[in-house]
Amino acid sequence: MTSVSGSGTGAGGGAPSGSSAEEGKLRRTLGFRDLVVYGLLFIAPMAPVGIFGTLDAKSGGSVALVYVVATVVMGFTAFSYAQMVRVAPFAGSVFTYARKGLGEGPGFIAGWMAMLDYLLIPAVAYLFSGIAMNALVPEVSRWVWTAIAVLVTTLLNLWGVRAAARVGFAVLAMEIVVLLVFVVSAVVVLVRDGAQRGWLTPLTGDATFSMAAVLGAVSVAVLSYLGFDAIASFAEEVTGGSQKVARAVLFCLVLAGALFIAQTYLAALLEPMSSAELAADPAAQGSAFYDAVDASVGTWLHDLVAVSKAIGAAFAALAGQAAAGRLVFAMARERRLPPFLAKVDPKSGVPRVAILGAAIVTLVAAVWAARRDDGLDHLVSVVDIGALTAFVLLHASVVGWFAVRRMSGPPVWWKHVLMPVVGAGVLIAVIVEATTSAQVVGLCWLAVGFVVLAVQGAGGRGMQRPR
């Protein structure tokens, strides 16, 4: 088991000094492929399937353009992650980076806002899995399928990060094969029968197109990308140094963006309903991708995609739950959450208490949503606001560490100032265009975080180790 270096004091610490044998240490067992598997599992190669109709309606038919813009927006964020992971190769991701670049208080707030999404994104993925399985086996309630998915993936996460990565690799391979089957089938149909829309419409939109509408759709589309950043939370479990983590973050973002743009472009060309018709019929938006496949290719591909989404969503939640556990672990290790959450299982080398805590929260949220007709709408509408806020603080951390504090020597201005400032500005524009409910939830969660921070004391150690 490899011990984490660093004193654990101040903004630059890693694991606290003097930590117990079970606390503050994670086992280094992951390689580049494992990081990519976790990142793509959390993202899910066919993530746009569930929100394709919503994005098409919101963007005036320019759904592929939405993903082009979203990839660029997330590209700035991935670049900032790559800068910070080199100077802070510790678990905790944005929490750790903001502590180093901005200080204790902003670091806690960044971790607190990220935690909102790291707990809710797996809940959404589990719910997607439950809905898909219920469609295939309607005799079993979707909340039961949802709970089963939580149980199975939690056990895999407790088994160990390496074992979970091996199982995840098989699931990821299945998802990519299904996606390739869709792409080939779509191309054959388009060559044979032609497109339902103009060939450039998915990139230029129709008569209802506006850039404001595209940005509004981007605020939803970024949900598809949330997960590439989770790779950084495994920094203490990687063999070969932080450079490998930085490369994996950028690789996953570029690959996911290419997959999303390709599949939404093809699906839009196959979609029999216009964006205006989808906007007028919200009930049809959730099944728009499947309806396009049904109408153009056949029900066999519909069923294949549904099975892939059911299994893939559960394993996206597995990766999300693992990342949430690492974030909770890192915040507990720095006494910003109760210290018992920083315990590491000596056999598996995973933060077992933090993973179980994250699993309980996601189980409650996912089952609650699964038992309500409007549960999915409630979760999806608020799930990305925390991560977007944390990403803004991440960009500020790059400026703080490299340009203001100059902790790594003279800054490279385009890399350490221009890129993060532009990235933060674009994210703020996306937050402004987010739904009112998302903004309200984000503000309430932020307010609670400030209260917790005030109680702990921004410059203190927070919750001290019990005597």
Looking at per-residue pLDDT, the higher value among 37 and 353 belongs to 353
Q: Is residue 5 part of a domain?
A: no
pLDDT tens readout for residues 49-79: 878 888 998 888 899 999 999 999 889 988 8
Amino acid making up residue 334: E
Whole-angstrom Cα distance, residue 338 to residue 347?
A: 22
Provide the pLDDT for residue 260: 95
Whole-angstrom Cα distance, residue 141 to residue 124?
A: 17
In this prediction, residue 246 has a pLDDT band, given cuts at 50, 70 and 90, of confident
Provide the pLDDT for residue 134: 81
Q: Is residue 9 part of a domain?
A: no
Whose tokens are 């149909």? That residue is 189
In this prediction, residue 397 has a pLDDT band, given cuts at 50, 70 and 90, of very high
Which residues constitute the domain of residue 195?
A: 32-456
Q: Is residue 175 part of a domain?
A: yes
Angle, vertex CA 455, rays to CA 453 and CA 456, nearest 5: 65
Provide the pLDDT for residue 24: 52
Residue 266: CB atoms within 10 A of its CB come to 22
CATH number of the CATH domain containing 331 = 1.20.1740.10
Angle, vertex CA 97, rays to CA 91 and CA 98, nearest 5: 130
Helical H segments across 23-103, by residue range: 32-43, 52-58, 63-87, 94-102
Q: Is residue 8 part of a domain?
A: no
Q: Is residue 437 part of a domain?
A: yes
Q: Is residue 425 part of a domain?
A: yes
Counting residues of the chain whose pLDDT is more than 70, the rounded percentage is 87
Name the domain count of the chain.
1
Provide the pLDDT for residue 433: 75
Whole-angstrom Cα distance, residue 92 to residue 71?
A: 24
Rounded to the nearest integer, the mean pLDDT of the chain is 81
Provide the pLDDT for residue 92: 55
Q: Is residue 17 part of a domain?
A: no
Give the pTM. Answer: 0.75
Highest mean pLDDT among 2-16, 109-123, 189-203, 287-301: 189-203
Provide the pLDDT for residue 466: 37
Whole-angstrom Cα distance, residue 265 to residue 245?
A: 30
Highest mean pLDDT among 162-171, 229-238, 324-333: 324-333
Whole-angstrom Cα distance, residue 55 to residue 446?
A: 27
Whether 215 has a pLDDT exceeding 50, the answer reads yes
Q: Is residue 90 part of a domain?
A: yes
Whose tokens are 């216009």? That residue is 274
Counting residues of the chain whose pLDDT is more than 90, the rounded percentage is 21
Amino acid making up residue 29: T
Provide the pLDDT for residue 117: 81
pLDDT tens readout for residues 399-408: 999 999 888 7
Provide the pLDDT for residue 15: 43
